[in-house]
Every structure is written in C-alpha cells, then in structure tokens.
Amino acid sequence: MTYRNKVTLMYLVIIAIAVPLNTIGAHAQEVSVYARGLDGPRGLKFGPDGHLYVAEAGRGGPQNPCLVVPIVGPYHGGPTARISKIVDGQRITVVDGLPSAMSSLPTGDTLGAADVAFLGSKLYGLIAGGGCTHGNPQDPPGVIRADVERGTWNYIVDLGLFMKTHPVENPNPADFEPEGTLYSMVEHKGHFYAVEPNHGQVIKITPGGHAEQLIDISATQGHAVPTAMAFHDGAFYVGTLSTFPIQPGSATVLKISEKGELLDVMHGFTAVTGLTFDGKGRMYVEELSAAPGFPMPGAGKIVRAGESGQIEDFVTGLNVPTGLTYHDGALYISNFGAVPASTGSELGEILRVTIPDEP
C-alpha cells in the first residue's frame, strides 16, 4: 500500500465526534484541552516568547493543478493554510494566506503548512501544500520565513525544485509525488532539517536557502515513509509511518548522525506521526492509529520508549494525532489533525498531557 493510499484511507475513517480520551493512570496524571478551533493542526513548537505555534494545513481552494498526481488527485489549491499561536487558550493568526491543497476525492486529503521552527527569535514554516501538482504553481513546497510583527512571509527555498533535481535511490513509482509531501522540520546549529515522506529523505537547509540531502532513507529502508523528527543528544531521530494496512509494531525510529549516517533502527512502533524527548531524555512517539487495518478514530496514542528498548503506552484514545512537542514538563499533541476539509469545521485541537515525574 502506498503513502497516498494511506493518507486517503485515513480520511475515510475520521468522524466529527471525538472519541473519549483515555489515559494510562500510572503515567499521565492530567490531560486537558489546551486550544480548540484549529484547521488541520500539524507540527507545533514553543517559541522564544513562551507561546505555542502551530502549523495548520487549511482546506485547499478553487485553483486547478497543472499536473495531476494519480490516486488522490487532482488537488485543488488556495491560500487557506496558516500558522497560529496559542495565547491563554485562544488561537491567534500569525501568518495566513499560505498555500493549501485539498484532494477532489470525497476523503478531502489536505496539505498545507506542515511544521514550524525557530532560529533565534525568527519564525520559519515548512510548506507542503505548494506546487503545480497541488494547484499552487506560484507558491512551491519549501521553507518560508515569517515576519511575526507584520504578519507577512517569504520563501527562503523551493524544495519542490530540489527534489526534482536530487532524486532518491529507491522511489516508489506507484506512489511518486514529484514535489513531495513535506512533513516535519527541526532547527539544529543554525540549520533546518526537513523530512520528506514520499521520496524518503532528510534535507538540510541553510537560513540563506541552500539545500542539500542529509540522508537518503530510501537507500537502506525502501519506501518506509519517514515522517516525524527530533534531535537529541547528538543525533537525529526519525519515525516512519510504514505501510498499510497497519501492522502494529511494523514502524521504526531511525537514529541518524549529524553527518547523515544511519546509526540504529529501533523497531516495534506503529504509524509514527510525532516524536519528542522530555526533560529526562526519554523518547515519546506519537502513533496515528495503533490498531491493525486502517486508521480508526480513538486508536491513536503516545508511547514512551525506555532505555532497555521496552515500549509502554503513555496516552491512548487519541483521534488521528499529527503533531507532538514537549515543553516545561508536559507533552502537547495535535489531535484531530486530519479532519476532512469537506466538513467545513475547525475541529482540530491541542491537548496538554502532564508528565508527573518531571522536575
């Protein structure tokens, strides 16, 4: 099953009624709704001002693509993605008018703003919904720099062009998206690192817009669909979505050196969409849907990986979670991150989960 099939089928199972959230009492003392009213929340991070910033996919628009990608196409584009910040539980738009794309299929597959990162006080966004195939030929997939004070933005790099001119070793022909489906981005030592799932690579980007490949994951892992990324203790950690139908435990977390060397492969995860570390260096992995078959509401969860390799449930009962970050003793989760755009509702929410044994 291809990545495109996965995304399409994911939307078939989303419903507009939240499945009750369950917590594992031994670990998660408190789960609360941190914010509501988000439109496809994806990657999220806290900024230097102490506020949470969230990338939102939006709901596409009326523009037709100039090239149709099979399976989920044609996409229809429009400037409906945005980046928001959360202040006292309220969503505030930071920049909007970002390219978003919605599939014409009833499933309503959407791509838009995929993640955020900070370099000092400056905000940057990863854009997945741009490009010819997504109905936004004037706005490519890539990385933008946002002017928070003015609410404006501009591109620093066109990653759609980079992917076309820097092919990976083992692309999946049945599931090939020329301009990619960018998903996750982190900042490290003054550079940005973006994960591209469809081709299967990690791209290193300078603030000035120079891009180069850090690692071709497809070369050793095939069509593993790398999604989430975090940096910890001298290495990058990248989670994979793996193939569908879901086989619990079939996804992995890859440990990658700063030079792009594959150091380790950790097994036993399921459909990874988020990854972070807490203040004690423990790894938390977000799973889109942990049940066998196809993604189901209420089957998403967060697991914690121990030093000896054991994996334990930390939070269960999530609804297609699509983003995860850690801040000040708590996890923050993009829940209902993949609600179909056809619902016309901003059903996305951010959950806050305390970690009781944190200092």
Q: 123-132, 226-235, 332-341, 347-356 — which is least confidently predicted?
A: 332-341
CA pair distance 274, 276, nearest whole angstrom: 7
Are 322 and 37 spatial neighbours (Cβ–Cβ below 8 Å)? no
Q: What CATH number has the domain bearing residue 58?
A: 2.120.10.30
Residue 29 confidence (pLDDT) above 80: no
Q: 115-124, 189-198, 237-246 — which is least confidently predicted?
A: 237-246
In a domain, 205, yes or no: yes
**Is the pLDDT higher at 47 or at 346?**
47
Q: Which residue range forms the structural domain that includes residue 222?
A: 3-354
- Lookup result for tokens 């423990």: 282
Mean pLDDT, to the nearest integer, of 38-44?
96
The whole-number pLDDT of residue 297 equals: 86
With a CB cutoff of 8 Å and minimum separation 6, the contacts of 100 are: 57, 58, 59, 60, 61, 77, 78, 79, 80, 81, 110, 111, 112, 113, 129, 136
Indicate whether this model's pTM tops 0.85. Answer: yes
In a domain, 132, yes or no: yes
Label residue 174 by pLDDT band (50, 70, 90): confident
Q: Give the count of domains, the chain.
A: 1
Residue 26 confidence (pLDDT) above 70: no
The whole-number pLDDT of residue 23 equals: 52
Question: Encoding tokens for residue 342?
Answer: 């056809």
Q: 135-149, 255-269, 299-313 — which is least confidently predicted?
A: 299-313
Residue 16 confidence (pLDDT) above 50: no
In tens, the pLDDT along 70-112 reads 777 789 999 999 999 999 999 999 999 999 999 877 667 789 9
In a domain, 77, yes or no: yes
In a domain, 315, yes or no: yes
Residue 52 confidence (pLDDT) above 60: yes
**Is the pLDDT higher at 353 or at 12?**
353
Question: Encoding tokens for residue 102?
Answer: 């919605």
In a domain, 359, yes or no: no
In tens, the pLDDT along 244-280 reads 789 999 999 999 999 999 999 999 999 999 999 999 9
The per-residue pLDDT of the chain, averaged, comes to: 90
